[in-house]
Structure 1
Amino acid sequence: MKPPRSALPLPRYVERKPTGAGWAHFFHVPTWAKRTGCPLRSEPLGLDYAAAVKRAEKILLPAFDAWRTGDASTATTPVIAAVGTLDWMFAEYRADRRYTKLDPKSKRNHEVGFKLVGGYVLKDRTRLGEKRLTVIDTALTDDLYEKLLILRTTDAKGNQVERERRTTVNHAMKSCRRAWNVCARRNPGKLPLVNPFAQMGLRSSDRETPTATYDELIAFRTKAVEMNLSSLATAALIGWEWLQRETDIFATFDVSHYRSKERANMVRVVDEKTKQSGWVPLFDDDGAALYPELMAELDAIKRDRIGGLMLCRDWGNRGPWPTWPKPDTPDFTHMSRKVKEVIRAAGLRDELSFASFRHGGFTETGDAELTDREIMAQGRKATIKTLPKYVKRTTRQIVSGTKMRRASRTKDGHLSE
């Protein structure tokens, strides 16, 4: 029995057909467009009239018109993913508030995973992203995980090199799992009940953040100065000496934190992640500078600055290193790329990153045989996860620990008395 006749207007290339459940809507790419290479595909739009019109007018028709007119401003419009495919699931997740509210780094991590999984080429030469969700099961995802785990490349001598990328693939599977869950909630009944990316038994990588040596710190700083990026040289030393993260150094460290009128012999060190902060002494009881190299650089910066962030870019209008796509969410993409340029120009290990210098500083505290209390005072640690027990840090512990660290460098031949 036909459903009651509907006279509601339809967008171009959209048709309605009667079904047992009501009027179903379909977007049909015209034959002439298919013959001339239109990348869009015909697709069902469902029973909901409002939803069908919205998808046709907001997504499908603009993409079709951009292809038809060859408008240079919209020539990069991506091919619209067919409803029910893996690519469509990723697009649905991107449109959800639970994705849009993420910080830029989290979005980039998700996109790397979507590209890795959706872009995997199958035996029939099609991308996995083009496949319908109904054919993606747990057996397929388990097999995919094993195939993605080992990356095979060719080195400069033509030899095939294999390396494991467990952390990257783990993140990719977690991103797909998240996208599946969000898409299923946005589209009740349109996805299979079982999420094939869930409960995969992922094993964490044994890889730790690469730790820089003191010699590598010196090499990085020297090359950064040669490349007119002295702010990065200073930042690396701050990370090493005061064990701070990039957020604390580039987005929090203010000129007023260093040798203020009220505390001319101290610096205020803030840890945004743990919400810990404190004043670190710059001189010992005899008046000797505890951080002579770093203090000389910061003193020079402060002479020409009244306020604002201590470390800024070394060119142009000397703006901040991070950007803020969202308030209170700094993005360090540009800084990270510049750091990598310096690392490579200095001939250092390519796996090093800015965080490597902070980890190197922590390693130095152990090599210098600092006590738990001294390490805690230096790194502003206050949880059982990082130290055996809670202890109170004091300026005396910071001074003692700093002296022992510098003495350790002297013993290794890095400093001269």
Structure 2
Amino acid sequence: MAKAEALNQALAHWRTGEGGDAMARGTVEWLFAWYREQARFKKNAAKTRSDYRRLMDMLAVFETKAGSPPLGKRMAAKVDASVADKLYAKLRLRGERQATYAMQVCRLVWTWAVRHHRVTGVKENPFAGMGLKSTSVKGNRATSRAEYDLYRATARKMGFQSMATAAALSFECCQRVWDAFGFADSDGQEHRGIEWAGYEPGKQIALVQSKTGNNVVLPLTIAVGGELVRLYPDLEDELERTPRTASVIVVEERSGEKYKERRMSSVHRAICEKAGLPKDMTFTGFRHGGITEVGSVSADVRPISGHATLDVTRIYNKATADKAREIAVARRAHIAALGGDLSENVSEHVE
């Protein structure tokens, strides 16, 4: 307990400069503070900046040797490869992932410091060439259509029609989570959500892809033999079940307002547990699943997802409503080839 209190006090002193122990120019703690003021650091997403700050705070008060001054008090220019290796070895006792991530952050800071050595006094990067590979967790896996169907059926049975509808907007329309729910993204910017005004039943649904600002218009039907065939029946069924109580489509049943991200995550996890779905099934996985499904029938997902580009070699394909319709038709055919309407068999899996 005493050691923890001492570390907390040291961290507070480092942040505020109080206690007669203000940071000295050229020290590691000074270098961290300097780096945080650089455009190089500020351009990162809010979550990335927060993660970097947390690691820098930890490293600034970290004792590489019992009884010795914390790392933050060392002169940054005198931190050599031997110190970096010892630091990594000691951090590994707390976990491989944290140790590797800390070394990666230090490498970024020292790389930038070397570039500006006249200001920082740092001429070598002791964290370069350590041969460490990223140990970050796996990305969001794509949710399958069978999982998507089971999720929606379970959400409805639990009284969360809003979650079933949001899942449909993400999976069928390939839209990002913050667009479906209208809450803040990773940079802290709040989005308006998908609005009822853009939905014309049996005709089309129009959205604005927030990250790129691109307009996305999805045709909902196509004429076949003089009859209209629905291209997104699951999406329209969920929208038909959803009460229109606000300008945005997805609102929480409990409050009548847009979801907060934490509340959404809590409800999502409860639905997955009730349905017996995998623990690693994230809400972002619905969008990935939809894009994966589109990718199986078309090389260009932009008419659905709203992406600005495919990649540097395929930037000249124009996204059009006709292309979106073609993709939707092929997608329905793909679903049929996999076994018809998969949602027909979902109810038997829900208690």
TM-score for the superposition, normalised by structure 1 = 0.59
SS at match of 1:303: coil
**Which residue number corresponds to residue 143 of structure 2?**
212
Using the TM superposition, give the Cα deviation of residue 303 of structure 1 relative to its aligned residue in structure 2, in angstroms: 3.2
Question: Please, which of 370, 375, 390 is the counterpart of residue 316 of structure 2?
Answer: 390
Change (3 A) 1:400 1:96: closer
**Which residue number corresponds to residue 315 of structure 1?**
254
Q: Gapped runs of 5+ residues in structure 2?
A: 1-5, 183-190, 346-351
Change (3 A) 1:279 1:347: same
SS at match of 1:377: helix
The separation in 1 between residues aligned to 2:113 and 2:257, in whole angstroms, is 39
**Which residue number corresponds to residue 273 of structure 1?**
211
Larger strand share, 1 or 2 = 1
Using the TM superposition, give the Cα deviation of residue 241 of structure 1 relative to its aligned residue in structure 2, in angstroms: 0.9
The amino acid of 1:109's aligned partner reads D
Question: Please, which of 291, 297, 319 is the counterpart of residue 362 of structure 1?
Answer: 291
Using the TM superposition, give the Cα deviation of residue 274 of structure 1 relative to its aligned residue in structure 2, in angstroms: 3.0
| Pairing of 1:95-244 with structure 2 (within 5 A) | 103-114=45-56, 117=59, 122=64, 124=66, 129=71, 132-134=74-76, 136-142=79-85, 144-145=87-88, 165=97, 171-177=101-107, 192-197=122-127, 203=133, 207-244=138-175
Using the TM superposition, give the Cα deviation of residue 111 of structure 1 relative to its aligned residue in structure 2, in angstroms: 3.8
C-alpha contact 2:170 2:286 (8 A) present in aligned 1: yes
The amino acid of 2:233's aligned partner reads P
Change (3 A) 1:405 1:384: closer
Using the TM superposition, give the Cα deviation of residue 213 of structure 1 relative to its aligned residue in structure 2, in angstroms: 1.8
SS at match of 2:291: helix
The separation in 1 between residues aligned to 2:263 and 2:60, in whole angstroms, is 27
C-alpha contact 2:165 2:235 (8 A) present in aligned 1: yes
SS at match of 1:412: helix
Change (3 A) 1:340 1:96: farther
Query: Percent same amino acid at aligned positions?
Result: 26
The separation in 1 between residues aligned to 2:171 and 2:259, in whole angstroms, is 19
The amino acid of 1:272's aligned partner reads S
**Which residue number corresponds to residue 348 of structure 2?**
none
Q: Gapped runs of 5+ residues in structure 1?
A: 1-36, 42-54, 65-79, 153-163, 323-331
Change (3 A) 1:411 1:201: same
C-alpha contact 2:171 2:290 (8 A) present in aligned 1: yes
**Which residue number corresponds to residue 406 of structure 1?**
332
The separation in 2 between residues aligned to 1:372 and 1:219, in whole angstroms, is 28
Change (3 A) 1:211 1:387: farther
C-alpha contact 2:302 2:309 (8 A) present in aligned 1: no
Using the TM superposition, give the Cα deviation of residue 244 of structure 1 relative to its aligned residue in structure 2, in angstroms: 1.3
Using the TM superposition, give the Cα deviation of residue 277 of structure 1 relative to its aligned residue in structure 2, in angstroms: 1.5
Using the TM superposition, give the Cα deviation of residue 281 of structure 1 relative to its aligned residue in structure 2, in angstroms: 0.8
The amino acid of 2:229's aligned partner reads A
**Which residue number corresponds to residue 24 of structure 1?**
none
Highest RCO, 1 vs 2 (Cα 8 Å, sep ≥ 6): 2
The separation in 1 between residues aligned to 2:292 and 2:69, in whole angstroms, is 45
Using the TM superposition, give the Cα deviation of residue 129 of structure 1 relative to its aligned residue in structure 2, in angstroms: 4.6
In the alignment, structure 1 residue 287 sits paired with structure 2 residue 228: yes
Q: Deviations over 1:188-216 (max 9, x none)?
A: 86764434345666655695432222222
C-alpha contact 1:113 1:176 (8 A) present in aligned 2: no
SS at match of 2:303: helix
The amino acid of 1:393's aligned partner reads A
Q: Deviations over 1:226-253 (max 9, x none)?
A: 5544323322221111111123322243
The separation in 2 between residues aligned to 1:143 and 1:234, in whole angstroms, is 52
Using the TM superposition, give the Cα deviation of residue 416 of structure 1 relative to its aligned residue in structure 2, in angstroms: 4.8
TM-score for the superposition, normalised by structure 2 = 0.68
| Pairing of 1:316-331 with structure 2 (within 5 A) | 316=255, 318-321=256-259
C-alpha contact 1:86 1:131 (8 A) present in aligned 2: yes
C-alpha contact 1:410 1:416 (8 A) present in aligned 2: no
The separation in 1 between residues aligned to 2:93 and 2:289, in whole angstroms, is 29
In the alignment, structure 1 residue 60 sits paired with structure 2 residue 1: no
The separation in 2 between residues aligned to 1:200 and 1:357, in whole angstroms, is 37
In the alignment, structure 1 residue 304 sits paired with structure 2 residue 237: no
Using the TM superposition, give the Cα deviation of residue 225 of structure 1 relative to its aligned residue in structure 2, in angstroms: 3.9
| Pairing of 1:373-388 with structure 2 (within 5 A) | 373=300, 375-381=301-307, 383-385=309-311, 388=314
User: How many aligned residue pairs are there?
Assistant: 320
